[in-house]
């Protein structure tokens, strides 16, 4: 009777090919991958492959997480969402790191005070990423003016959530040109004037506009031209107006 070979001193790495380990690691959730890379040098080298870390968002939940963005496995992160309070210098450090992430498509910074961030740096970030969420960020006049001026020239941006920020100082023509270059924009509760809204809707219905969905407030004390509203509704795939917390569109007439 043949005896079973003694496998007690045989490393699993000598039995399972690297290709098989790669396939196994691809099936693991990110929380398990974090443990896998700690097992041994070989598993770390395989588990650090950036391709394994492109699935789902990277959440920055503490200040220490800022340093993780330099790790090889996060080089090709496609989505980053910040869940921790950061100081001004830390925010700028984060944004400067983000600029160097070649595959980043989505960044979420909503509900963080970004008022101290350099306007040019913030505009550069917004202008170079597919989807940006900077709603309720206490943006300054200079910041929003710089952001929309930069977008109006040329942009890679497709979706922008910038609601709950004051945009009333942005030049109407600049705002309109910028918005017409984006596919999805949320401008709810941004203190837009009647002139800004009229200019925005007029340009959004013109030739060359990429706008597909727009969310904004109706000016409180100013009446918009019904013909402009009708044309905008006929042209833009989704046009949502908000008054206070009540949504109204096709079923509720503007006054």
Q: Are strands 131-133 and 79-82 parallel, antiparallel or unpaired?
A: unpaired
Q: Which residues contact 112 (CB under 8 A, 6 or more apart)?
A: 82, 85, 86, 91, 137
What is the pTM assigned to this prediction? 0.76
The token pair at 169 is 């100082």
Of 6-20, 213-227, 241-255, where does mean pLDDT reach its minimum? Answer: 241-255
- For the stretch 28-58, pLDDT in tens is 776 787 788 788 888 877 777 767 766 667 7
SS3 100: coil
Average pLDDT over residues 64-91: 71
């Amino acid at each position: 009777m043949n005896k079973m070979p003694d496998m007690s001193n045989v490393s699993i790495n000598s039995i399972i090919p690297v290709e098989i380990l790669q396939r196994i690691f691809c099936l693991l959730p990110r929380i398990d991958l974090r443990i896998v890379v700690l097992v041994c040098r070989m598993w770390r080298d395989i588990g650090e492959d950036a391709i394994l870390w492109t699935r789902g968002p990277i959440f920055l939940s503490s200040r220490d997480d800022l340093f993780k963005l330099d790790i090889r496995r996060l080089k090709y992160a496609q989505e980053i969402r910040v869940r921790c309070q950061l100081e001004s210098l830390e925010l700028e450090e984060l944004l400067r790191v983000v600029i160097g992430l070649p595959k980043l498509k989505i960044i979420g910074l909503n509900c963080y005070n970004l008022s101290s961030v350099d306007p040019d740096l913030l505009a550069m970030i917004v202008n170079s990423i597919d989807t940006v969420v900077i709603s309720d960020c206490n943006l300054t006049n200079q910041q929003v003016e710089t952001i929309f001026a930069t977008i109006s020239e040329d942009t890679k941006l497709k979706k922008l959530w910038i609601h709950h920020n004051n945009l009333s100082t942005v030049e109407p023509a600049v705002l309109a040109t910028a918005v017409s270059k984006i596919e999805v924009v949320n401008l709810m509760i941004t203190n837009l004037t009647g002139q800004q809204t009229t200019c925005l809707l007029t340009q959004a219905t013109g030739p060359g506009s990429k706008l597909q969905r727009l969310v904004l407030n109706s000016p409180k004390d100013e009446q918009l031209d019904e013909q402009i509203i009708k044309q905008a509704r006929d042209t833009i795939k989704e046009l949502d107006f908000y008054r206070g917390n009540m949504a109204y569109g096709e079923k509720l007439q503007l006054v």
